[in-house]
Amino acid sequence: MSDPPLVVKEVLFELHSDVDVAVARREVRDWARELELTVLDVTKIVTATSELARNTVVHGGGGVMCLQIVRKAGRVGVRVTFTDRGPGIPALALAMQDGYTTGRGMGIGLPGAKRLVNEFEMSTTPADGTSVTIVRWKP
């Protein structure tokens, strides 16, 4: 088991509305730019954040986003954790498949977000909520 990353900077955001999602997206973009991530890497972490923050609001009934700058093994990156107390995801393996949707979307949300980041961890418990952590490391 490897040591966890060192948290250098951290802030929490409540996620309950579209306005909260927009604020979260902007803050992640600003922090990623401060780390001097490439334009492509900034776009990737912001896009993944947007999808996961929206999922927290729409499917999780709202929750919290924890934004962090982390260091590990000589690397620095942006780590974002989304936590809700919603109904959870009853069919996680299915939800991680391209094309699966519970609504009117295209079904690329969770697997698409996973492809955009270097690390993706998800845990979910029916009736107890979902937690998703993503990391984008500076090249």
pLDDT in tens, 18-51: 999 999 999 999 999 999 999 999 999 999 999 9
Report the distance separating Cα 64 and Cα 106, nearest Å. Answer: 25
Give the pLDDT score at 1. 59
Q: Which two tokens stand for residue 109?
A: 């949300």
Which CATH number describes the domain made up of 6-137?
3.30.565.10
In the sheet that holds 119-125, the strands lie side by side as 6-15, 63-72, 75-84, 129-137, 119-125
CB atoms within 10 A of CB 133: 18
d(CA 40, CA 130): 28
Instruction: Give the amino acid at 62.
Output: G
Whole-prediction pTM: 0.91
Burial (0-12, 13-18, 19+ Cβ within 10 Å), 108: middle
Size of the chain, expressed as the number of residues it contains: 139
